[in-house]
Chains A and B, each alone.
Chain A
Amino acid sequence: MFILILFIIMVLASVVSFGFMDRRREYALIATAIFLVATIVYSILRFSTGYGSGGFRSESVYNLAPSIGIAFSIGVSGFADALLILSGIVIFIAAFIAGKHEFTQTMYSYIMITEVGLYGILISRDFLFFYIFWEVVLIPVYFMVAQYGGRNKDHVSLKFFVYTHIGSVFLLLAIFTVYAYHYDATGVFTFEIGALMQSKYIEMIPTALRYFAVFGFLFAFLVKMPSFPLHSWLPDTYETSPYPGTVILAGGLSLMGGYGLFGILMPIYSSLGTSVLQLLVALGIISLLYFSFTALIQKNLKRMMAFASAGAMGFVTLSFGAGLLEGTKYTASLELAGGMFQIVAHGLIMAMIFTALYFIKMSTGKETTYGLGGIYREVPMLSTFLLAGLLASLGLPGLAGFIGEFSILVGSFAAIGWLILLVILGMIVTASYHIWAAQRSLYGPYNENLGKIADLTPSRFAILIGTFAAIFILGIVPNLIYGILVSYVGGII
Chain B
Amino acid sequence: MYWPGWFIFLSPLIGAPIALAVGKRYKSLAGIIASLAVGGALVASIITFFFVDAGTVVSNSSKLYVVTGQYAYNHYLWFFNIDIGIFIDRLSIMMALMVSFVSLMIHLFALYYMKNDPNKHVYFAETSLFTAGMLGLVVASNLVVFFLFWELVGLCSYLLIGFWFFKPNATAAAKKAFIVTRVGDLLFLVGMAILYDSLVGFPGLGSNSPLSIPFLINNASLIASYIGKNTLGIVAVLFLAGAAGKSAQFPLHVWIPDAMEGPTTVSALIHAATMVTAGVYLVARVFNIFYAAAPFALYSVAILGAFTAVFAGIIGIFVNDIKRILAYSTISQIGYMFAAIGLGGLFGYAAVPLGMFHLVVHAVFKALLFMAAGAILIALMDLRDTRDMGGLWRKMPMTVTLLFIGSLALIAFPGTAGYFSKDSIISASWLYYAHYGTAWSFIPWIFLATGSLLTTLYTFRMFFRVSLGKPRSHLAEHAKDPSVWALIPLFILAAGALLLGLIQTPFYNFITPEAFVPSVPIYIEAIPITLLAIGLIVTYVLYGTDRWRHMDFSKNRLYRLAKNKFYLDTLFTNIIAERVITPVSGGIATFENAYNNAVDRTGSGTLSLGSFFRKLQDGVVENYFVVLIIGISIVFIIMLLAGLM
Contact = CB atoms under 8 A, between A and B. Distances in A.
B162 interface: yes
A205 interface: no
B362 to A, nearest CB: 27
- Residue among B77, B122, B183, B588 with most chain A CB within 10 A: B588
A232 B596 contact: yes
Interface in A398-443: 398, 402-403, 406-407, 409-410, 412-414, 420-421, 424, 427-429, 431-432, 435-436, 438-439, 442-443
A297 B585 contact: yes
B589 A374 contact: no
Contact of A290 (B122, B182, B194, B588): B588
B79 A432 contact: no
A479 B77 CA distance: 9
Interface string A369-390: 0000010110010000000000
A461 interface: no
B589 A444 contact: no
A376 B589 CA distance: 29
Contact of A428 (B165, B179, B596): B179
Interface string A214-238: 0000000000000001001001100
B50 interface: no
Given A396-B151, A406-B144, A482-B80, A297 B589 contact: yes
B178 A424 contact: no
Nearest to A337: B80
A365 interface: no
- Residue among B168, B183, B585 with most chain A CB within 10 A: B585
B206 interface: no
A397 interface: yes
Interface size class of A (residues with CB under 8 A): 35 or more
Nearest to A296: B585
A428 B196 contact: no
Nearest to B593: A294
Contact of B196 (A391, A410, A486): A410
Interface string B133-171: 000000000001001101110010010001001101001
Contact of A424 (B155, B171, B187, B592): B187
- Residue among B147, B166, B193, B194 with most chain A CB within 10 A: B193
Given A398-B152, A428-B183, A478 B165 contact: no
B520 interface: no
A446 interface: yes
Interface in B190-233: 190, 192-194, 196-197, 200-201
B616 interface: no
Contact of B200 (A162, A330, A376, A391): A330
Q: Binding site of B, secondary structure by majority: helix, strand, loop or mixed?
A: helix
Contact of A431 (B79, B182, B584): B182
A158 B178 CA distance: 41
B179 A435 contact: yes
Contacts of A406: 144, 189
B468 interface: no
A443 B165 contact: yes
B78 interface: yes
A439 B175 contact: yes
Interface string A277-310: 0000000000000100110111000000000000
A232 B168 contact: no
Contacts of A478: 78-79
B600 interface: yes
B589 A334 contact: no
Interface size class of B (residues with CB under 8 A): 35 or more
Contacts of B192: 410
B175 A436 contact: yes
B78 A409 contact: no
A16 B595 CA distance: 43
A432 B197 CA distance: 28
B406 to A, nearest CB: 32
A334 B80 CA distance: 7
Contacts of B122: 380
A444 B166 contact: yes
A236 B201 contact: no
B37 to A, nearest CB: 19
A159 interface: yes
A311 B179 CA distance: 18
B599 interface: yes
Contacts of A297: 582, 585-586, 589
A156 to B, nearest CB: 10
Contact of B201 (A330, A376, A424): A330
A398 B156 CA distance: 13
Nearest to B170: A443
Contacts of B584: 293
Nearest to A445: B166
A342 interface: no
A364 B172 CA distance: 23
Contact of A232 (B197, B586, B595): B595
Contacts of A483: 79
A151 interface: no
A21 to B, nearest CB: 36
A470 to B, nearest CB: 16
A284 to B, nearest CB: 16
Contacts of B166: 374, 377, 443-446
A396 B581 contact: no
Interface in B593-645: 595-596, 599-600, 603
B172 A439 contact: yes
Given A294-B585, A398-B148, A444 B171 contact: yes
B589 A293 contact: yes
B186 interface: yes
Interface string A3-28: 00000000000000000000000000
Contacts of B197: 331, 410, 413-414
Contacts of B189: 406, 409, 424
B147 A424 contact: no
B200 A329 contact: yes
B38 interface: no
A376 B155 contact: no
Contact of A429 (B193, B581, B595): B581
Interface string B428-449: 0000000000000000000000
Contact of A159 (B175, B581, B603): B603
B174 interface: yes
Interface string B60-80: 000000000000000001111
A452 B458 CA distance: 48
A56 to B, nearest CB: 23
Interface of B: 77-80, 122, 144, 147-148, 150-152, 155, 158, 162, 165-166, 168, 171-172, 174-175, 178-179, 182-183, 186-187, 189-190, 192-194, 196-197, 200-201, 581-582, 584-586, 588-589, 592, 595-596, 599-600, 603
Closest 10 CB pairs of A and B: A397-B148, A443-B171, A296-B585, A232-B599, A478-B79, A443-B165, A482-B79, A410-B193, A293-B585, A293-B588
14 contacts: A159-B599, A235-B596, A331-B197, A407-B80, A409-B189, A412-B193, A413-B194, A414-B200, A432-B179, A432-B581, A435-B158, A479-B78, A479-B79, A483-B79
Given A159-B600, A413-B193, A427-B182, 9 more contacts: A294-B592, A374-B166, A407-B80, A410-B197, A421-B190, A435-B179, A439-B174, A443-B165, A443-B171
